[in-house]
Amino acid sequence: MSKRKRGILLAIWIVLIVALLVASLLVGTQSEGRESIQETMRDAVLHDSNKISLFGLIDVNPALISAVLVTVALLVFAACVRIFAIPKFKMVPGKFQMLIEQLVGFFDGLAKGNSPHRNGFLGAYIFGAGVYIFTSTLFELLGIQSTTTEGLPITLPAPLSDINAAIALGCLSYLIILSGGIVGNGLRGVGKTLKDFSLPISMSFRLFGAMLSGLLVTELVYYYVNLSFVLPVAVDVMFTLLHALIQTYVLTLLTALFYGEVSEPHKKKEIKKKAHA
Amino acid sequence: MNIPLNIDWQQILLHLLNFVILAGGLYFLLYKPVKNFMNKRTSYYEAMDAEAKAKVTSAQKLEEEYKTRLTNAEEEIREKKASAVKEAEKAADAVIAEAKAKGNKIISDAQTAAKQEKDKILQDANAEIEAMVSSAIDKVLVSAKENSFDDFLDSVQEE
C-alpha cells in the first residue's frame, strides 16, 4: 500500500470517528421511556424487573440465558476440539495444542498441588468451574442483545453477576469439598467440612461481589453515552479480563485448597502407635 | 418465603443444572481426552527414559566387564610371558647343554683323532727309523766289507 493511499484511509477513519462523536453528542439521550440509572443499577444487582423467557417455558433472569449461551458455546467448542483437534495431537505440540494442554495441565496441577491424596475428580471439577467462570465473565464483553418479556431491549450480563448463579457455584463447590471429606475421611471428613460452614456463603458472595462490581462499573459507564467512547476499551476490556482471571483463580484455588485439607488422611493412630512403640 | 437479594431457588437449581451439564461435557469432551493424551505422552517419554537408563546401565556393565576382561587379559599375558620366558630359558639351557655336549664330543673326538694321528705318526716314525736303521746297517755293511766285523765291533764298541 502506497503512502498516499494509507494517508487517505487514515483521514477517512479519523473523519468518521469525529463525525460519529459529534453526531452522538448532538443527538443526545432520550431519557423518556428509559430506565433511570437507579433502576438500571438496581436491576443489575437484583434482576427483579427484567425477565427473559426460557424456550417459552418459564421466565428467568437474563443471567441464566447468558449461562445457557456460554454452556452451548463451550460445549460446541469442546466438541469441535474433540473431533477435529485431539485426534491430530502430536508428541511435540503446536500452538493450539499447547494452549489446550496448558489449560488442562494448569487445573490438573492445581488439583494435584493442593490435594495430593485425592485429585482426580477435583481436577475435573475445577477445570469445569474455571473455564465456566473465565468464559462467562468475558461473555459480558460481547454485549449480546436480547428482549425482555416486557419487550424492552437488554444486554445479556455475565452469568455470575446474578447472585443465584454465584450461590449455585459456591454451594456446589462446598458440596464437592464435602464429598472429598466423606471419601477421604468418612465422618471425620464431614466434621472437618462442616467446621467451615461459612464457606459456601463466603465463596458465593465473593464471586457475586467481584462479578457485580465489574458489571456495575460498566453499567455506570455505558449509561452515559458520552462515556461510551474510548473509555470502555480501558474500563471494560481491561477490568473484565483482570477480574475474570482473578476470580477463576480464586474460586478454583480455594476449592482445591479446602478439598485437599478435608480429604487428607488422618494420621493420629499412627502417631499413637509410634508413641506406644 | 421472600428471600432478600432476589434469591430464587428455581434459578439456583437451573444454574446448577446448566453448570453440571457444562462440567460433564467439558470433562468428557476436553479434560479427559487431553489428560489421557498427556499421560500417554508422559508414559511414552518415561519408557524412553527408562530404556535409555537401562541402555546406559548395560553399557556401564559391559564397560566394567571389558575392563575386568582387560585386567584379566593383562594378567594372563603376564603369566604367559613369564611361562614363555621360562620355557625359552629352559630351551636355551637345553640348547646350551646340547652344544656343550656336542663340543665336548667334538673335543674328545678331536683328541682321539689326534692321539690316533700321533700314534700313527709315531708308528710311522718308528717304522721309518727302523727302515733308516736297517738301511744304515745295510750301508755300513756294504762299506765295511773287509773289516766289517772289526769295524762293526769297533763301532758297536764306540757306540
Q: How far is A155 from chain B (nearest CA, A)?
A: 19
**Domain range summary for chain B, segments of one domain joined by +:** 9-158
Distance from CA of B78 to the nearest CA of A (A): 56
Per-residue pLDDT of chain B (159 residues; tens, 9 = 90+): 556 667 888 888 889 899 999 999 999 999 999 999 999 999 999 999 999 999 999 999 999 999 999 999 989 999 999 999 999 999 999 999 999 999 999 999 889 988 888 888 888 888 888 888 888 888 877 766 656 666 667 777 776
- Label residues A179-191 b or e (16+ Cβ within 10 Å = b): bbbbebbeeebee
Distance, in Å, from the CA atom of A110 to the CA atom of B31, rounded to the nearest integer, reads: 14
Q: Residue A234: phi, psi to the nearest 5?
A: -80, -50
Pure H helices in A53-162: 62-80, 95-114, 120-139
Q: Which of B18, B29, B38 sits opposite A78 (nearest CB)?
A: B29
- State whether ipTM is beyond 0.85: no
Question: Kindly report the CA angle at B30 between A254 and A257, in degrees rounded to 5?
Answer: 10
A1 vs A15, A16, A206, A269, CA distance in Å?
20, 21, 52, 78
C-alpha cell at B152: 762293526
* Amino acid type, B157: Q
pLDDT of residue A76: 96
A42, A52, A71: best to mutate for the B interface, most B CBs within 10 A: A71
CA separation for the pair B2, A48 (Å, rounded): 12
Residues composing chain A = 277
pLDDT tens, residue by residue, A166-204: 889 988 998 898 888 888 888 877 877 777 778 778 887
Nearest to A72 by CA among B145, B130, B21: B21
Nearest in space to A80 (alpha carbons), one of A90, A92, A72: A72
Count CB atoms within 10 A of the CB of residue A141.
15
Contact between chains at A71 and B5 (C-beta distance less than 8 A): no
A163 in contact with B, Cβ within 8 Å: yes
What are the chain B neighbours of A55 within 8 Å (beta carbons)?
A: none
